[in-house]
Amino acid sequence: MKIIFLGGARSRSLHVNRRLQVALLAVLCLLPLAAGLGLGSALASLTGAPGPEARIDDLRDQLAAERERLAAGEAAARQRLQAITLKLAELQSRALRLDALGERMAEVAGMDPEEFGFARPPAQGGPEQLPQQPPALEFDELFAELDARLEAREQQLRLLSELTRDRRLARESTLTGYPVAKGWISSRYGYRVDPFNGRRAWHGGVDFAGRAGSSVVAVAAGVVTVAGRDGAYGNSVQVDHGDGLVTRYSHNRKNLVAVGELVKKGQPIATMGSTGRASGPHVHFEVTRDGRSLDPAPYIQRAAR
């Protein structure tokens, strides 16, 4: 390649080989790029726009902020998980206590363990509903479901407690058993030979003979309406059991209760003696309903239901 320089009357020529041609072409191509970069930098400095280094710094700052947010999210997730673990442990402990207490109460009450089923999940049912997309079960919904199940168990327990109380009250208020801790029947209800005059006479109760000073007990819960000396009955105690039923315990050596006192079934209310018209230490036991004499034998023999 030959380059001719014209100047005045004389001209000069320059021979350029191929390598020099490539170098010159490259310089000519890079000149516009360099000019553009220089112009861009000049404009950036004039307009205040961020350059490449500033943009890199911004990206680094954004990355650091994202990392901080991620770390904060992980810490919150760990706290949430710890709270969930503690809540589940509390619910499990609560459920175990309820189940153990319920089974114990059912056993003490003599109920069928299958009736309440504390050892099994609560019985549930209904038609199956198949959603198109299974919903995600959130932790709050899970806890709400567990709380509902525990509430059902607590309701079972309350019902069992009420039934147990009702049965206990029924047993307490039911006349049954002997009115003495130890003793034997020495005279039954009805006509008999009077032990003092030998004549036929009516006997409106059942006599229980035993050791003087032994315990006389209430055959059912009630309120003491009489506690004192009562003519030929000697020291006597009367207990009102409600529904018109009244029991009398007579010939006591000593009365252990006072009028108006609430007594429980099996509670000692007197000691056996021979006060009043009595041939020896015994308890004269009577049962009346609305003031009418009843044979105590059925009450003595029957078991509380």
Q: Could you tell me if residue 127 is inside a domain?
A: no
Q: Could you tell me if residue 144 is inside a domain?
A: yes
If asked whether residues 201 and 273 sit together in one domain, one would say: yes
Task: Supply the pLDDT for residue 50.
Answer: 59
Please spell the DSSP secondary structure of 228-273, one letter per residue: EE-GGG-EEEEEEEETTEEEEEEEEEEE---TT-EE-TT-EEEEEB
Q: Could you tell me if residue 229 is inside a domain?
A: yes
Q: Could you tell me if residue 294 is inside a domain?
A: yes
If asked whether residues 233 and 271 sit together in one domain, one would say: yes
If asked whether residues 155 and 199 sit together in one domain, one would say: no
Please spell the DSSP secondary structure of 133-161, one letter per residue: SPPP--HHHHHHHHHHHHHHHHHHHHHHH
Indicate which CATH number applies to the domain containing 241. 2.70.70.10
Q: Could you tell me if residue 126 is inside a domain?
A: no
If asked whether residues 237 and 282 sit together in one domain, one would say: yes
Q: Could you tell me if residue 129 is inside a domain?
A: no
Read off the pLDDT band of 69 (50, 70, 90): confident
> Mean pLDDT, to the nearest integer, of 268-287?
96
Lowest mean pLDDT among 87-91, 135-139, 195-199, 292-296: 135-139
Is residue 266 predicted with pLDDT exceeding 50? yes
At 142-170, the pLDDT tens digits run 667 777 777 777 776 676 666 666 666 66
Read off the pLDDT band of 81 (50, 70, 90): confident
Task: Supply the pLDDT for residue 118.
Answer: 55
Q: Could you tell me if residue 263 is inside a domain?
A: yes
**Where do we find the tokens 């019902």?**
159
Is residue 192 predicted with pLDDT exceeding 60? yes
Task: Supply the pLDDT for residue 165.
Answer: 65
> Mean pLDDT, to the nearest integer, of 292-303?
88
Closest CA to 282 of 205, 226, 221, 223: 205
Q: Assign 175 to helix, strand or coil.
A: coil
If asked whether residues 192 and 288 sit together in one domain, one would say: yes
Q: How many domains does the chain have?
A: 3
Closest CA to 179 of 250, 277, 254: 250
At 208-261, the pLDDT tens digits run 999 999 999 999 999 999 999 999 999 999 999 988 999 999 999 999 999 999
Q: Domain range spanning residue 195? A: 184-301
Read off the pLDDT band of 23 (50, 70, 90): low
If asked whether residues 287 and 230 sit together in one domain, one would say: yes
| Dist CA 66 CA 70 (whole Å) | 6
Q: Could you tell me if residue 64 is inside a domain?
A: no
If asked whether residues 154 and 195 sit together in one domain, one would say: no
Yes or no: say if 217 and 267 are a contact pair by the CB < 8 Å rule.
Answer: yes
Task: Supply the pLDDT for residue 70.
Answer: 79
If asked whether residues 98 and 13 sit together in one domain, one would say: no
